[in-house]
Chains A and B, each alone.
Chain A
Amino acid sequence: MLFLLLLLPSLLAALLALVVRPYRPAVGWSNAVLSLAAFGAALGVAGHAIAGEILVWGPGDLFRADSLSALLMVCVSAVAAMTLFLSPGLGRSAAFTDRQLRRYHLFINLFIFSMLLAVSVNNIGIMWIAIEATTVFSAMVIPLTLSKASVEASWKYILICSVGIALAFVGTVLGYFDFVALSGRAENALNWPVLLNFAPHLHPEVMRIAFIFLLIGYGTKAGLAPMHTWLPDAHSESPATLSALMSGVLLAVAMYALLRWKMVVDATLGDGFTDTLLLTLGLLTLFIAAFSLVRASNYKRMLAYSSVEHTGLICIGLALGPIGTFAAMYHIVNHAAAKSMMFFLSGRILHRFHSTELGAVRGLLKVMPATAILFAAGMLALVGLPPFGLFMSEFALVRAGFVTGHPWLMALLLVLLAVAFVALLRHLNSMLHGTPTAEIATGEDHRWGLVPMLMSVAVLLVLGFYLPASFQSLLDGIAALVTH
């Protein structure tokens, strides 16, 4: 039942956007209210997971939720709810035509649906289908206003991600191939627990090749270097709300798919093989992101590269055993809260300054004081300063690195984090201070629009001071999954 409550609201919302024409603000509002139902359902699933229960439901055990799924469901549905409350078309703003707003609401809800589906299905073939669908639906929202840059970004996005995800399918087929070869055909063979149980009997040679394809495939979607090139383009050209969803949770969903497969492949090969690959790619990603941040000249691209950086960190965390996975999952939650907030704020800044160039934004503290303070808080959180949650999760991650015997890697990681730290704070400084050009109005509008951001800051502060017991047991549950 909870699964229906989780998945149906976004489908219903998409249907509403489809049938009501022309677009009316009531559609936007009902979409937003519906998203709260999904969030409630996600919390319900998390409650079961914390109690140690694995929910399974549907014909052929179609849906399954353990702690890992529950964590992602909560992240996705929370960011989705904020997105829908901050979406264009809820007020009387004339920035978009009715047609654009209808298209936006239709596809953003389908996008949210496919992300929720990806983390709630049991069958990793269907998980693949859902992740492929996220590309198609989100690509439809990127060029909301047609321009050379937005069309180029969406073309690159759909082409690179479709190819990436197709390679992930090669990996899926290879994993299934071996299962069929050894135990015969079974309808439920692609159900994750079935595959995991059987994994020790699979051929290591085959699973090695399969994992390489899966890593390139889902890694493309997660923004791992060197397959990350679509990411800054797509995130900088999308409407702010879509960027928030893509950066905050879509990358995490791709990492989720990778982690599911990593557990299967580890069960076949033992530790080591996947960890080495993930560490290498993670560090490469971190390296490229840190130096791209130094050169960034556009604040939305800056935020996008910061997402690449955090994906790199999460990838490294997954390679550091159960305590590393614990830290990586903790980091996913913190990053979802911080990065979605930053993209929402970037939308407000863009609305006022009419430019995404860093050079065009000056004196933010004078122009929009509340936005500026929240933006500064978010940036301090993203660079990993206390008292925010990201400090705690990065600390846990580095600790995991030392415990598992990678002191040199962790030293390198800290150097790269320092590079990103300096770059981001320099850019932040240039945005906050200085004199704004005369034609830019001062003062905040849509003050109520800041409420979701205040909630994000509150979450980041709470997670920066202590781990609530329920959240801790959820993370412990995930760490237990990767312990053999």
Chain B
Amino acid sequence: MDETLFAPLTTLGASLVLLFGVVLLWRRSLNAYIQAFKWQSVILSGVFFLVGYFGHDPELYGVGVALLGLKVFFIPHLLGRLRKRVGADHEITPYVNIATSLLIGGMLVLLAYVLMRPVVTVSTLPTRGALPLALGLVFIGLFVLITRKKAITQVVGFLVMENGIALLAVLGTYGIPLIIEMGVFLDLLMGILVMQVFIYQIQDTFESIDVDRLTHLKH
């Protein structure tokens, strides 16, 4: 393929990844959250293949495949089973309503552009234009995690944030060293498994996974 396609294609990919992050801001069903994360991860692994192809780094194909297995199949499957077992369907009353969430989401992307300006200016990479989108996604994930009440939604928020970081890493550096990439996957896998254990424990002790009930610890 033509080298000139690289920059527009990565920007397109990053925009799609970000778009699936924005879906979290206006949907309420937990299933939609999990699906959005799944499709976001599909596009993200596509970006890995793209950078691997144009950046001439076959290692990235391997990382893309690992990502596909972990974030497109394993984790969404785990979350779906978790959702059914604890019987939670909807994020009924988030701390911030949908209209405001979307507005704040837009501002967070703007903030990412402001913060990344110096980085984009000094960079000569063809992928530099998409870097602020990745940071914007990190912020949106963080925002979802803070303002949603179900433990599962918080986990999805965390995963979306993690996807933002992966996107930032692959666009900014054409992939961090393989050993570190694998370590990050391992940590993520263990983290998700532990969070799953805790969600069951929250369900057992509080008979709900609404984290606004977690108010036992004060001074």
Contact = CB atoms under 8 A, between A and B. Distances in A.
B205 interface: yes
A433 interface: no
Interface stretch (B42-50, B72-80, B178-186): B178-186
Given A159-B158, A209-B118, A151 B205 contact: yes
A206 B119 contact: yes
Nearest to A189: B177
Nearest to B170: A173
B202 A155 contact: yes
B91 interface: no
B118 A206 contact: yes
Nearest to B142: A163
B interface residue count range (under 10 / 10 to 19 / 20 to 34 / 35 or more): 35 or more
A169 B217 contact: no
B103 to A, nearest CB: 22
B165 A173 contact: yes
Nearest to A296: B219
Contacts of A143: 198, 201
Q: How would you classify the secondary structure of chain B's contact residues: helix, strand, loop or mixed?
A: helix
Contacts of A296: 219
Interface string A124-162: 011011001101100110010011110111111011001
A301 B219 contact: yes
Contacts of A187: 177
Contacts of A266: none
Q: In this complex, which of B168, B174, B187, B201 has the most chain A Cβ atoms within 10 angstroms of its Cβ?
A: B187
A177 B172 contact: yes
A125 B202 contact: no
B194 A139 contact: yes
A155 B158 CA distance: 13
Q: In this complex, which of A158, A170, A187, A296 has the most chain B Cβ atoms within 10 angstroms of its Cβ?
A: A170
B130 to A, nearest CB: 13
A136 B211 contact: no
B140 to A, nearest CB: 13
Contacts of B186: 129
B190 A133 contact: yes
B165 A166 contact: yes
B51 to A, nearest CB: 13
A232 B216 CA distance: 13
Q: How would you classify the secondary structure of chain A's contact residues: helix, strand, loop or mixed?
A: helix
Contacts of A178: 122
A156 B214 contact: yes
A146 B172 contact: no
B169 interface: yes
B89 interface: no
B151 interface: yes
Interface string A439-482: 00000000000000000000000000000000000000000000
Nearest to B204: A146
A166 B198 CA distance: 20
A423 interface: no
Given A148-B206, A174-B119, A169 B184 contact: yes
Given A129-B180, A163-B145, A180-B174, A149 B217 contact: yes
B116 to A, nearest CB: 8
Contacts of A236: 217
Given A136-B194, A162-B158, A170 B119 contact: no
22 contacts: A125-B176, A125-B177, A125-B183, A139-B198, A148-B206, A148-B216, A149-B216, A151-B205, A152-B215, A155-B214, A159-B158, A163-B142, A167-B138, A170-B165, A177-B172, A206-B119, A206-B122, A209-B115, A209-B118, A233-B217, A237-B217, A292-B219
Interface of B: 115-116, 118-119, 121-125, 135, 138, 142, 145, 151, 154, 158, 161-162, 165, 168-169, 172-174, 176-177, 179-180, 183-184, 186-187, 190-191, 194-195, 197-198, 201-202, 204-206, 211, 214-217, 219
Interface of A: 123, 125-126, 128-129, 132-133, 135-136, 139-140, 143, 146-149, 151-156, 158-159, 162-163, 166-167, 169-170, 173-174, 176-178, 180-181, 185, 187, 189-190, 203, 205-206, 208-209, 232-233, 236-237, 292, 295-298, 301
The 4 closest A-B pairs by CB, nearest first: A205-B118, A129-B183, A125-B180, A177-B172
